[in-house]
């Protein structure tokens, strides 16, 4: 895709900018050049990885932070453990991680020991949510089974996860599976001697031990971070992204297709009358966006201006995948249409009753997405 680019002759600023401009198609050669210059680029990469807004922008199609994080991970350098950990905390809840990149856990299992040490301390912190606990358990489990460093510490972390009564049952099952699979007999014996475990749990442990003896799992090594840039991985990822886009558009379709009642139709007609300053195509796009928003009222059963932050964000993250239907005019984009209808509603339905101000969120999403329709 970039056959004539000599990455080695780019200055640092242009190479750094390529993390954004190349999006998900950054070539392996560019990532390798960043790795060679890491002493100079590291301060920018670390700052990017610790910035939550940069990670929010990943779900909106801005890839720079993920590239920076992967390159830090590929370096194997222990001083980046904290930046890698914070990056993982911000990455794991994202749609990208859950719906597109399916080898993230195995990739992180190959990161620096310092990263795994921090993760081991945080693995049982239930404030981070079940998704984080599951991922942390798998990362530590793969590291325990396939890496020689600090095996006892990894096993002890998984034992803490398993023994914690507040841990979700699926997470406990994952932890037990890796403990058994590791072959660390002291760990399984400590569980079997644990007088606080219920008989049913002890029977499950014995069953898992016997099953592993009969059918041991041949688990793969951690995935090298730079494999992300192989042609095979990029092709697989592009397929996942296309499925994700179709899924997001499909999730919102039932809401958008809801029929409007008489009051909503009347609101739509009044809004249309305010669009005389726009070209016909732009006005048509604005009306379509307004119709979608009014249809959502029928689904949620609440007036638009009272939507919570979470509900509005959920709605916008799905509507944006159909922004091309609104943007029939190059001079009028999706976010213009949303903002215009919001301002209209604030005067059309006095007194406006918002429990959450729309404008800051819409402004933030406009900034995150830019002209993109998700990743």
In a domain, 276, yes or no: yes
The range of the structural domain enclosing residue 57 comes to: 7-226
* Nearest to 22, CA basis, from 64, 74, 56, 51: 64
Q: Which of 197, 226, 255 is the last residue of a domain?
A: 226
Task: Determine the straight-line distance between the first and last CA of the chain, rounded to whole angstroms.
Answer: 18
In a domain, 117, yes or no: yes
Same-domain check for residues 113 and 166: yes
For residue 260, which phi and psi values (nearest 5 degrees)? -90, 145
Return d(Cα 365, Cα 320) in angstroms, integer.
10
In a domain, 55, yes or no: yes
Same-domain check for residues 38 and 75: yes
Same-domain check for residues 243 and 216: no
Q: Which of 173, 201, 226 is the last residue of a domain?
A: 226
Same-domain check for residues 88 and 134: yes
Same-domain check for residues 307 and 196: no
Same-domain check for residues 199 and 271: no
The total of structural domains in the chain comes to: 2
Return d(Cα 240, Cα 93) in angstroms, integer.
17
pTM (2 d.p.): 0.85
Torsion sign (Cα): 251, 259, 340, 371 = positive
Contact 27, 2 (CB under 8 A): yes
Same-domain check for residues 282 and 362: yes
In a domain, 166, yes or no: yes
In a domain, 123, yes or no: yes
Burial of 364 (0-12, 13-18, 19+ CB in 10 A): middle
Same-domain check for residues 131 and 238: no
Residue 323 structure tokens: 């922004």
Same-domain check for residues 159 and 291: no
In a domain, 178, yes or no: yes
The Cα diameter of the chain in Å comes to 78
Same-domain check for residues 307 and 203: no
In tens digits, the chain (375 residues) has pLDDT values of 555 789 999 999 999 999 999 988 899 999 999 999 999 999 999 999 999 999 988 888 889 999 999 999 999 999 999 999 999 999 999 988 888 888 999 999 999 999 999 999 999 888 888 999 999 999 999 999 999 999 999 999 999 999 998 899 999 999 999 999 998 999 999 999 988 888 998 999 999 999 888 888 778 889 999 999 999 998 998 898 888 888 888 889 998 889 999 999 999 999 999 999 998 888 999 999 999 999 999 889 888 888 888 899 899 988 988 888 888 766 678 999 999 999 999 888 876 555 567 888 888 888 888 877 767
Return d(Cα 161, Cα 120) in angstroms, integer.
10
> Quick one: angle between helices 113-122 and 151-163, nearest 10?
20
In a domain, 374, yes or no: no
Same-domain check for residues 31 and 134: yes
What's the CATH code of the domain at 64? 1.25.10
In a domain, 375, yes or no: no
Q: 301 to each of 20, 97, 304, 342, how far by Cα in Å?
A: 40, 31, 9, 18
pLDDT in tens, 318-345: 898 888 888 876 667 899 999 999 999 9
Contact 205, 188 (CB under 8 A): yes
Q: Which of 203, 226, 249 is the last residue of a domain?
A: 226
Same-domain check for residues 266 and 174: no
* Nearest to 374, CA basis, from 316, 287, 311: 316
């Amino acid at each position: 895709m970039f056959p004539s680019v000599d990455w080695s002759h780019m200055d640092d600023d242009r190479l750094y900018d390529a993390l954004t401009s190349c999006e998900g198609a950054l070539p392996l050669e560019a990532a390798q050049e960043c790795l060679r210059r890491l002493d100079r680029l590291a301060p920018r990469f670390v700052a990017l990885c610790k910035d939550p807004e940069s990670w929010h922008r990943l779900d909106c199609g801005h890839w720079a932070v993920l590239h920076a994080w992967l390159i830090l991970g590929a370096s194997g350098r222990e001083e980046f453990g904290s930046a890698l950990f914070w990056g993982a905390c911000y990455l794991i809840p994202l749609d990208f991680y859950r719906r597109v990149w399916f080898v993230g856990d195995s990739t992180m299992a190959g990161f620096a020991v310092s990263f795994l040490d921090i993760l081991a301390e945080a693995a049982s912190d239930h404030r981070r949510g079940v998704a984080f606990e599951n991922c942390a358990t798998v990362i530590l489990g793969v590291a325990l089974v396939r890496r020689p460093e600090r095996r006892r510490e990894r096993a002890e972390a998984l034992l803490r996860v398993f023994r914690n009564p507040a841990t979700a049952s699926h997470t406990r099952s994952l932890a037990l599976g890796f403990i058994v699979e590791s072959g660390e007999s002291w760990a399984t014996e400590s569980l079997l001697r644990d007088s606080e475990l219920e008989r049913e749990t002890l029977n499950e442990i014995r069953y898992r031990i016997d099953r592993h003896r009969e059918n041991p799992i041949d688990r793969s090594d951690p995935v090298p971070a730079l494999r992300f840039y192989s042609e095979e991985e990029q092709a697989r990822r592009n397929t996942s992204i296309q499925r994700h886009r179709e899924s997001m558009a499909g999730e919102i379709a039932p809401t958008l297709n809801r029929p409007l009642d008489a009051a909503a139709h009347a609101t739509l007609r009044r809004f249309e009358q305010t669009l005389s300053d726009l070209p016909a195509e732009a006005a048509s796009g604005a009306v379509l966006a307004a119709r979608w928003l009014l249809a959502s009222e029928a689904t949620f059963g609440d007036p638009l201006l009272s939507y919570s932050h979470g509900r509005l964000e959920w709605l916008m993250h799905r509507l944006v995948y159909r922004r091309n239907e609104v943007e029939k005019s190059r001079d009028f984009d999706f976010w213009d249409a949303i903002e215009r209808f919001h301002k209209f509603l604030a005067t059309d339905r006095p007194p406006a009753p918002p429990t959450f101000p729309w404008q800051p969120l819409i402004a933030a999403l406009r900034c995150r997405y830019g002209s993109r329709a998700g990743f």
